[in-house]
Amino acid sequence: MKIKLYHYTIPCRTGVVLRKQPLTERQGLIIRLEKNGKIGWGEIAPLPTFSRETLSECEAQVRQWFENPTDLMDNFAPSVAFGISCALAELNGTLQPEGDFRSAILCDGDVAKFSAKLTACQAHLGKIKIGFNAEKEGELANLLLMQFPDLQLRLDANRAFSLEQAVKFAEKIAKPLRSRIQFIEEPCQTPALSRQFAEMTGIHIAWDESVREPHFLVKDEPNLTAIVIKPTLTGSLEKCVSLIQQAHSQGISVVISSSIESSLGLTKLARIAKQYTPDMVAGLDTLHLMQWQLLRQWQGSDLPLIDENSEFLRLILESED
């Protein structure tokens, strides 16, 4: 098997912030496997402020895997395990080629821009990042639900609210409109408070950060409608598929969600969504945060495409066994 490892750097658009830290560029590793004329690609891109592993640690682990490709994926950091397992799945033909490129449309507060994107893709599903100003964000959610009668909303709080703040958010949304909120991802600082919020307001919740905690178990419970899987932060493709199967067996929906991967990584997520969660629209509306696409074209994007000869993509390791 021939193995190549690349390092990429893609400039981000101005104003991208992760947990109060500006993200001016996205960096990651790309692994390319070739065997018997077949090729498999994978992206290893730990997300700053979210992933525990650094990019240099990822590179060291990939080099370790090069030395012993039989190592179990569980031995590696989540982004490494996911990238390598995706490359192997593509190489072996176990990841289907078709993708589901639908996505919840992100609203950053610009209602006119959000409306244009909804119209362009004929979508009826939006998403708002919340957790900064409960009352203003509640007013925005209420406005969108009133202005777009067919709209369903997903909300993501990243555990930012206290119970009091989360309830203030909900109070800004008219009760007849709340049923069109599919869920709020982890509205409160602890799962127990999030459960209490759901019981008080009637708004369903989804687990996101909880899914990545060491002893997480998929369990059906009142007001829980979905779990969100961010594969780059979760682990190998096999681990993600196991979580999906556990959730589906208990009637819980699963949303595949991005961690601001490149277009290559996003197309992999679209394929995973198509194959394993075909009835659920994924959360992949993040390519607009970047200035370039990488190796694979995202359906409908007009961003310029980086190929293997680009200055943004550098070969750092090559091996053949």
Which is more confident, 248 or 289?
Answer: 248
What's the mean pLDDT when you consider all of the chain? 93
Residues with active-site annotation: 129, 230
Look up residue 136 and give its two tokens: 């203003």
Q: Is the pLDDT of residue 18 over 90?
A: no
* pLDDT at res. 22: 83
Three-state SS across the chain? CEEEEEEEEEEECCCCEECCEECCEEEEEEEEEEECCEEEEEEECCCCCCCCCCHHHHHHHHHHHHHCCCCCHHHCCHHHHHHHHHHHHHHHCCCCCCCCCCECEECCCCHHHHHHHHHHHCCCEEEEECCCCHHHHHHHHHHHHHHCCCCEEEEECCCCECHHHHHHHHHCCCHHHHHHEEEEECCECCHHHHHHHHHHHCCCEEECHHHHCCCCCCCCCCCEEEEEECHHHHCCHHHHHHHHHHHHHCCCEEEEECCCCCHHHHHHHHHHHHHHCCCCCEECCCHHHECCEECCCCCCCCCCEECCCCCCEEEEEEEEC
* pLDDT at res. 251: 96
Q: Is the pLDDT of residue 125 over 80?
A: yes
The pLDDT tens digits of the residues spanning 52-92 come to 999 999 999 999 999 888 778 888 999 999 999 999 999 99
The pLDDT tens digits of the residues spanning 83-119 come to 999 999 999 999 999 999 988 888 888 889 888 888 8
Average of pLDDT values for 279-294?
A: 92
Average of pLDDT values for 218-245?
A: 97
Q: Is the pLDDT of residue 123 over 80?
A: no
Look up residue 209 and give its two tokens: 């950060």
The pLDDT tens digits of the residues spanning 24-58 come to 899 999 999 999 999 999 999 999 989 999 999 99
* pLDDT at res. 110: 87
Confidence band (pLDDT; 50, 70, 90) for 122?
A: low
Average of pLDDT values for 156-185?
A: 96
Q: Is the pLDDT of residue 20 over 80?
A: no
The type of residue at 140 is L
* pLDDT at res. 118: 84
* pLDDT at res. 255: 97
